[in-house]
A and B are shown apart, each in its own frame.
Chain A
């Protein structure tokens, strides 16, 4: 009897296993379908891509889409530099410095909030927490007016300078992390005569490299994918970030050359996807921990 029961259970297990795998595979297909479609379309010819007679694989494998995108320079942007490449370079130098400096600002203040005693510490931290509640939309018009007043419109400064002061969410996350580091370690360093800045750079930073890396990655992706900010502040095509050049490319290629538009899409997501593949674990860690508040 015991045997029969055991056997019954295993067949049930097998069925449920099959169902689980089927669900997971289906969901993976659903996630991957748009990607594979875009990738395959980018290698098609113009006429083939513009037909309702759909085939997954290109009948005639061609790189014309990529060629066209990499030839398109709008005439006005840097001579001979394709718009999408100049957009990519602009994105890099607009996003990387604020990400790194902002991370530094957030981390050092997180250390202070976690481990040091000073006047108004809790009040300052509460103020920072409160900023997380402000919807970004309400700042849209007043910041524009202020930047316009000081001549920052049509420069990358509005996209760069504020971020250099750090971000409340990052402070919050790093503070959680630093609170977990035993204070006895820091006291030992203090007795050895190290000042607080030394403790931060020589002890806290090395201990938190993985967490910092995760935050840096998330910050970079956020900046890389930002759309509304560059859309409002960057008006010269020479300054367009990658996301804005996509808009430009769309109005030029859509309807005319579908594979070229898809080639541009592929090019635009390659950097983040590659970054994700390289640092997958960090990414997921960063997301999982920064989202959890307990």
Chain B
């Protein structure tokens, strides 16, 4: 009897490979079909419907492109896109800062694991706590910034309630919370950079700046690309921070904190009878994300090298 036969015979005790595999693999697939596919189809249908109340499908009716017309002609929708993009300015800054910090951590220094541990802490902090922390810092009446600037109650700057400073504050908060992830990923990528490249460059007399730009940067470009792509998808769906800082349904001064998801949230869950518009806006956002991600992938061919 060959091994193959023994193998097959013994196996008859349990389920065969094909059946076992299908059963095991199908759990997440099933979960997606139920909790992903069905809502996704409904989302596409809803965008073309008037849905009364807070999601009363029984009274819903088809109204064609009305929801899209309503959303796309809504001044607030365009402002929410602009607000979201403005807040996303923190993303490239985060990527650059985390690369620099991760790079410095590869140098021969003492206390590296301590620094690494500290830098990662913002990652485990929820956006809610982060918002509360920074509200304390930017507070008009007792915040540390106004105190450091030597301002009095009369001259104090209302950082988070004035339209001219609000977005800047949110960008700063975004930078603070956004570097931890990048530092870890870059840290892993930098240890994988081929050492012999540096040695060869040294022999050729290249300085450390040239080494950084010509060797390090291209070597970690897949990580940069990953951070940029996932970061953009996340940034376009920003919600918690502006919602928490605005407090309740408020969206900051002059609606500056109204991000796209916040806009969708308000239409769907705060106002009545607007689930259809919310679904249409979400669809527009998804197409937007899809286009940006596609552009990202196309452009990446020019600067990302997988060696």
A133 to B291 CA separation, bound complex (whole angstroms) = 12
Query: Does A52 have its Cβ within 8 Å of any Cβ on chain B?
Result: yes
Given A37-B144, A121-B21, A141-B55, answer yes or no on A168-B133 (Cβ-Cβ < 8 Å): no
Interface size class of B (residues with CB under 8 A): 35 or more
Q: Decide: A288 and B46 in contact? CB cutoff 8 A.
A: no
Which of chain A's residues has its CB closest to B112's CB? Answer: A24
Q: Decide: B35 and A165 in contact? CB cutoff 8 A.
A: yes
Cβ of A277: which chain B residues have Cβ within 8 Å of it?
Answer: 117
- Residue in A24, A121, A262, A293 whose Cβ sees the most chain B Cβ within 10 Å: A24
Query: Does A273 have its Cβ within 8 Å of any Cβ on chain B?
Result: yes
Q: Decide: B237 and A24 in contact? CB cutoff 8 A.
A: no
Q: B residues 89-143 with Cβ under 8 Å of A?
A: 100-101, 104-105, 107, 109, 115-130, 132-134, 136-137, 141-142
Which A positions have Cβ atoms within 8 angstroms of B?
Answer: 17, 20-21, 23-24, 27-28, 30-35, 37-38, 41, 49-54, 105-106, 108-109, 111-113, 116-121, 124-125, 127-128, 131, 133-146, 148-149, 161-162, 164-168, 171, 187, 190-193, 195-198, 200, 221, 224-225, 227-228, 232, 243, 246-247, 250-251, 254, 258, 261-262, 264-265, 268-269, 272-273, 275-277, 280, 283-284, 287-289, 291-294
Query: Does B43 have its Cβ within 8 Å of any Cβ on chain A?
Result: yes
Q: Decide: B104 and A131 in contact? CB cutoff 8 A.
A: no
Cβ contact of A268, chosen from B10, B128, B239, B283, cutoff 8 A: B128
Q: Decide: A28 and B115 in contact? CB cutoff 8 A.
A: yes
Given A54-B147, A284-B116, answer yes or no on A109-B122 (Cβ-Cβ < 8 Å): no
Q: List 12 A-B contacts (CB under 8 A).
A: A108-B27, A109-B24, A116-B24, A119-B22, A135-B236, A142-B46, A167-B28, A228-B239, A228-B265, A254-B247, A276-B120, A292-B189
Minimum Cβ distance to chain B for residue A220 (Å):
10
Given A138-B285, A225-B126, answer yes or no on A127-B142 (Cβ-Cβ < 8 Å): no
Cβ of B19: which chain A residues have Cβ within 8 Å of it?
Answer: 118
Minimum Cβ distance to chain A for residue B254 (Å):
21
Q: Is the interface of B mostly helix, strand, loop or mixed?
A: helix
Query: Does B26 have its Cβ within 8 Å of any Cβ on chain A?
Result: yes
Q: B residues 1-55 with Cβ under 8 Å of A?
A: 3, 6-7, 10-11, 13-15, 17-22, 24-32, 34-36, 38-40, 42-43, 46, 51, 54-55
Query: Does B286 have its Cβ within 8 Å of any Cβ on chain A?
Result: yes
Q: Decide: B39 and A292 in contact? CB cutoff 8 A.
A: no
Q: B residues 186-205 with Cβ under 8 Å of A?
A: 187-189
Query: Does B184 have its Cβ within 8 Å of any Cβ on chain A?
Result: yes
Q: Decide: A137 and B125 in contact? CB cutoff 8 A.
A: no
Query: Does B258 have its Cβ within 8 Å of any Cβ on chain A?
Result: no
Q: Decide: A31 and B14 in contact? CB cutoff 8 A.
A: no
Given A28-B118, A138-B285, answer yes or no on A37-B124 (Cβ-Cβ < 8 Å): no
Cβ contact of A262, chosen from B35, B136, B260, B282, cutoff 8 A: B136
Cβ of A268: which chain B residues have Cβ within 8 Å of it?
Answer: 126, 128-129
Minimum Cβ distance to chain A for residue B188 (Å):
4
Cβ of B121: which chain A residues have Cβ within 8 Å of it?
Answer: 31-32, 35, 273, 276
A38 to B134 CA separation, bound complex (whole angstroms) = 9
Which of chain B's residues has its CB closest to A118's CB? Answer: B21
B75-83, B148-156, B163-171, B210-218: which lies at the A interface? B148-156
Cβ of B278: which chain A residues have Cβ within 8 Å of it?
Answer: 140-141
Query: Does B269 have its Cβ within 8 Å of any Cβ on chain A?
Result: yes
